[in-house]
Structure 1
């Protein structure tokens, strides 16, 4: 994370710099530390946020979300979108 931040003119403290960057969601950087996957905000707008305890499990969750995203996105109302989102939580 330290190298990525440096290339983009951002600063991160040493403890955060050693994490491996998986990607970004447009706001936070998803990173892997020694014991978890977390969302990291290099510009300091929010504290790091826990995402998952296991990289493999995180990957499975992303695959489920990818399969269900079209149903969630095409929902015509909040109740339908919420139901589709909940059903994704029971899959995998």
Structure 2
């Protein structure tokens, strides 16, 4: 039985797009998110714990997506968020 051999792929270096120097960050820690939202780390952790801000919990830390931060920041004056400020 013949096993297929790998065919080498020829690539022209001019057609390969270089990666950007830094890929966009998709997830932020509580420490990174707090200054972006103008809050303390404890306030952001509370928002995550109470599921007001969707996040991922690794068991040790919460991580918040960039999209979630943007959406939360856009609606920072929403009525349901007013209770958080008091």
Q: TM-score, normalised by structure 2?
A: 0.25
The one of the two structures with greater contact order (alpha-carbon pairs below 8 A, sep at least 6) is 2
| Higher strand proportion (structure 1 or 2) | 1
